Amino acid sequence: MQPASRPSSSGTERPSEPKPIIFAVDDDLGVLGAVARDLRREYGEHYRIMRASSAADALAALEKLRLANHAVALFLVDQRMPDMSGLEFLAQARELYPDAKRVLLTAYADSQASIQAINETRLDYYLMKPWDPPEERLYPYVSELLDDWRADHRPAYTGLTLLGLPYSASTHDLKDFLARNLVPYRWLDVETAPEAQELLRLSGKGAADLPVLLLTDGSVLANPTITQIAERIGLQTTAGMQLYDLVIVGAGPAGLAAAVYAASEGLSTILVESHAPGGQAGQSSRIENYLGFPAGLSGADLSRRATTQARRFGAEILTPSVAVGLRREDPYRFVQLADGTEIGGKAVLVATGVSYRRLETPGAERLAGVGVYYGAALTEAVTVKGGHAFVIGGGNSAGQAAMYLSRHAEHVTLLVRGSGLAATMSQYLVAQIEQTPNIEVRVRTVATEVHGEVRLEAITLCDVDTNEVQTVTAAAVFVFIGAAPYTSWLTDTVIADQQGYLFTGTDLGKVGALPDSWNLEREPYWLETSVPGVFAAGDVRHRSVKRIASAVGEGAMALQFVHQHLASL
Ligand SMILES: Cc1cc2nc3c(=O)[nH]c(=O)nc-3n(C[C@H](O)[C@H](O)[C@H](O)COP(=O)(O)OP(=O)(O)OC[C@H]3O[C@@H](n4cnc5c(N)ncnc54)[C@H](O)[C@@H]3O)c2cc1C
C-alpha cells in the first residue's frame, strides 16, 4: 500500500490525486512478475501497478484501497488460482470496484469458460498466456479498456473521510477541529449515506467506534482524540527545540502577527495553540472591516494566509497543544504544556484571547455539540438546512453568524436581551440583517431552557418585559453571549483584573499592581505584564479593543518590546 502522503508546506495532509491502479493477481510468481513488469513499462507513467500472489491478499488490499477511496482502473487476473478462481475473485472485486475493467488471464484449456464468463459475469476481456510480444497481444487490448475506463471515470475524492452521526458531540468536535485547522475532509453521515455504511463495514468498525476517520493510506482511526488526528495528518505537536527566543501562546490574529514579525526578524519562534490557528477570527464567516480587503474575507482565509506566512518565515506552530502553566527561572520563562512537557523562552507572549461564555440555561450543557454550539456556525450550518436556527447575542459575531446561517436555515431568529441592535452591532451588519427576509430579530427576549433527549429539539423563549414564555422547535442554537479571557492557567503568576484580563504596561502602575517579583529598575514596557519578559497582546489584555486589526497591531508592536527585553539579557 502507498504510504501516507507527506505533509504539505502548510503542515497538513492534503488530498493528492494518486494514479489510478492496474491490479494484477496470479499465484505463479514468475508470471506475476512478468506481467507486472510489462504493465509498468507501458502504463507506469499514468497508472500505479499493484500485484498480489493470492486472491485473498488482493481482496484485503482492495478493501484498504476502497477505504482510502483510491481508484482501480483494471484487474488482470489469472483464472487458475488455488484459493479462488479468477472469475470468483473478479465477482468479489466487482462489489468493491464496480467500474473497474476486468480481464482474465487464461491458459488455452480455460478459454471456453472465459468466453462464457464474458456473457455471464460481464468480464471485459480474456487474454491467452503467453502474451508475448506484449505490443501485439497485451497492450492493444488493455489500452482500449483503459481508454474506456478513463472516458467514464469521475475522479473520486481522495482526502480524509470522517464517518459519524449528525447529532454527536464527538463528531462535531472532530469536524470543528479539522475545519478550523483547514484540513480538507468529507463527512459522511452513517445514518443516511449508504457509502458511509459500506465504508464502516469495510473498516471493520461498528456504531460503537464512531466517529471513525479514514486516512488516505487506508488506515482507520476509531473515536480518535484530536491529538491522535493531529499526529497522523502531519500537524506539529512537539517542539523542535528546548529554548526559543520567543514562545507565543495562542495563534489568533495577535499571536500569528507576532510570529510573523518575530520569525521574519530572525528570532527563533514557536507558537503554542490549543485548538487551531486563527482563533476567534478563524471562526468568522465574513470579515468586512479588516483593512485592505474591500470585499471582505473569510476568517478561514485570513487564518490560512497568516499561518502560511508565519511558517514561511520559520515559526513553528504546535497544534493542538495547551499551555497550562508559566514558570520563571531567570533569565528564562517556561511555558508548561498539558502533555507534561515545557518549552523554554527568553521571552513569552500571551495571546490567548477570549472564549464565549457558556449558556447557563437548563439543558444547555448536556446539548452542547448536539444542537447547542459556541461560535462554530461554519461547520454546523449544513445541519440546520431547512430548519429553524436560533442565534443568541447582539454583537457583531452573532450578526455575522445569523447572516451566514440564513443561507442554510429556512428561518433564523436572533435573540437579543436588549431593546435593539444599534448599540452593540456595526451598522453595516444591522442593515444586512434588516434586508434578509428569513432573519427575524426578537428583542427583549432570552432563552430559558433548551430541550431534547439525544439532540436539541426545542427552545423555550421568555419575553423579559411580560415574562411570557413560548417553546418552539429548534434545529440548532448558536451562542454568542460575551466572552471571558483564557488566563486561568497563569493568574497565579501574572496579575489580572477581576475578569481575568491581563494588566500590561502603564495599567500596572495605575492599579499599584507592580508586585515584588518585578525586580527591575525600569517600568514595564507598554505590552509587558507584571512578570518581566512576559508580554500580552490582543483580546486577552485588560481593556483591549476586541478587533482583529487591533490584535494584529498589538502582536506586531509587542516585538519592539521583546527586542528591548532580549537586548537586556
Ligand atoms: C464569529 C466572530 C466574528 C468576528 N468578526 C470580527 C470582524 O469582522 N472584525 C473584527 O475586527 N473582529 C471580529 N471578531 C473579533 C476578533 O476575532 C477578535 O478580536 C480577535 O480574534 C482577537 O484576536 P486574539 O489573537 O487576541 O485572540 P483570539 O482570536 O481569541 O485567539 C486566541 C487563541 O489562543 C488559543 N488559546 C487560548 N488559550 C490557550 C492555551 N492555554 N494554550 C494554547 N492556546 C490557547 C485559542 O485557541 C485561540 O486560537 C470576531 C469574533 C468572532 C468570534
> What does the pLDDT look like over 255-304, one tens digit per residue?
999 999 999 999 999 999 999 999 988 878 788 889 998 888 888 899 99
Name beta bridge partners: 348.
247, 534
- The whole-number pLDDT of residue 114 equals 66
Using CA atoms in the order 158, 159, 165, 169, what is the torsion angle rounded to 10 degrees?
180
Is the pLDDT at 8 greater than 60? The verdict is no
Is the pLDDT at 6 greater than 60? The verdict is no
Q: Atom 37 (ligand 1): residue with closest C-alpha?
A: 352
Ligand 1 atom nearest 352 alpha carbon: 34
Counting DSSP H helices and E strands in the chain, the numbers are 16, 26
274 in contact with ligand 1, CB cutoff 6 A: yes
262 in contact with ligand 1, CB cutoff 6 A: no
Name beta bridge partners: 74.
22, 101
- The whole-number pLDDT of residue 182 equals 81
How far apart CA 122 and CA 91 sit, in angstroms, is 9
- The whole-number pLDDT of residue 376 equals 57
Mutate which of 260, 280, 324, 339 for ligand 1 pocket (most atoms within 8 A of beta carbon): 280
Mutate which of 249, 284, 404, 550 for ligand 1 pocket (most atoms within 8 A of beta carbon): 284
Is the pLDDT at 202 greater than 60? The verdict is yes
CB atoms within 10 A of CB 240: 10
pLDDT in tens, 54-110: 999 999 999 999 998 899 999 999 988 998 989 899 999 999 999 999 999 887 666
How far apart CA 384 and CA 389 sit, in angstroms, is 6
Is the pLDDT at 11 greater than 50? The verdict is no
CA dist 502 → 154, 166, 283, 498, 505 (Å): 55, 39, 24, 10, 10
Spacing, Cα 548 to ligand 1 middle (Å): 8
Residue with cell 442554537: 477
250 in contact with ligand 1, CB cutoff 6 A: yes
Spacing, Cα 252 to ligand 1 middle (Å): 5
Spacing, Cα 220 to ligand 1 middle (Å): 33
CA dist 378 → 9, 393, 400, 401 (Å): 25, 17, 11, 8
Strand spans (E) along 218-377: 220-222, 243-249, 269-272, 316-318, 323-329, 332-337, 342-350, 354-356, 372-374
Name beta bridge partners: 356.
483
226 in contact with ligand 1, CB cutoff 6 A: no
CA dist 443 → 214, 398, 418, 431 (Å): 45, 13, 6, 16
Is the pLDDT at 4 greater than 60? The verdict is no
pTM: 0.77
Spacing, Cα 155 to ligand 1 middle (Å): 38
How far apart CA 136 and CA 487 sit, in angstroms, is 74
Residue with cell 492599579: 511
Mutate which of 429, 548, 550 for ligand 1 pocket (most atoms within 8 A of beta carbon): 548
- The whole-number pLDDT of residue 511 equals 63
Spacing, Cα 502 to ligand 1 middle (Å): 15
Mean pLDDT value across the chain = 90
349 in contact with ligand 1, CB cutoff 6 A: no
400 in contact with ligand 1, CB cutoff 6 A: yes
Lowest mean pLDDT among 9-18, 84-93, 497-506, 524-533: 9-18
CA angle at 104 for the pair 100 and 109, rounded to the nearest 5°:
165
Q: What percent of the chain has pLDDT over 90?
A: 71
Residue 213 zone, left/alpha/beta (φ > 0; ψ -120 to 50; rest): beta
393 in contact with ligand 1, CB cutoff 6 A: no
pLDDT in tens, 166-187: 888 899 889 989 988 888 899 9
- The whole-number pLDDT of residue 257 equals 98
Question: 3-state SS of the chain: helix, strand, coil percent to 5?
Answer: 35, 25, 45
Phi, psi of 162 (to 5 degrees): -105, 120
How far apart CA 67 and CA 35 sit, in angstroms, is 26
- Taking the alpha carbons of 19, 24, 30, 34 in that order, is the dihedral positive or negative? negative
Greater confidence (143 vs 518) lies with: 143
Amino acid at 235: L
Q: Tell me the H-state helices in 359-504.
A: 377-380, 396-405, 427-434
pLDDT in tens, 301-355: 999 999 999 999 999 999 999 999 999 999 999 999 999 999 999 999 999 999 8
Spacing, Cα 254 to ligand 1 middle (Å): 8
Lowest mean pLDDT among 224-238, 304-318, 364-378, 464-478: 364-378
Is the pLDDT at 477 greater than 80? The verdict is yes
